[in-house]
Amino acid sequence: MTDYDHAAIDELLHSRVRLAIVAFLAGAKTADFSAVRDAIKTTDGNASIHLRKLEDAGYVAVKKRFVARRPQTLYSLTDRGRQALLAYIAHLETLLPPTGARSKDKPQ
């Protein structure tokens, strides 16, 4: 029997925007604000709010610096964020039926 306990789902990652940010950073390693915003196809304000929530949770690290006298904010996924993403994916996989069961249940 599969455990459909909704309380086990990470509420922070269950947001489409935050999940997209974490997934993007998992592959990008480090990215500036514009790259994150463009990758997830959202507005500056929306990206900023979700990045802040991820930062507050310890899922994303933020580094601020200046490049040619212009401020630049870099984001990267923390070890805690990577573990949260892997746990989130693993929990979703437990909700799926076994591979053999899926093909048997298809209508003919």
CB burial readout 81-108, b (16+ within 10 A) else e? beebbeebeeeeeeeeeeeeeeeeeeee
**Whether the Cβ atoms of residue 88 and residue 9 lie closer than 8 Å to each other:** yes
Q: Which two tokens stand for residue 3?
A: 């455990």
pLDDT value for 71 = 92
The domain segmentation of the chain, as residue ranges, is 11-97
Share of the chain above pLDDT 70, in %: 88
Q: According to CATH, what is the number of the domain 11-97?
A: 1.10.10.10
Angle in degrees, 0-180, between the axes of helices 16-28 and 79-94, rounded to the nearest 10? 120
Look up the pTM and report it.
0.83
Q: What is the mean pLDDT of residues 75-95?
A: 93
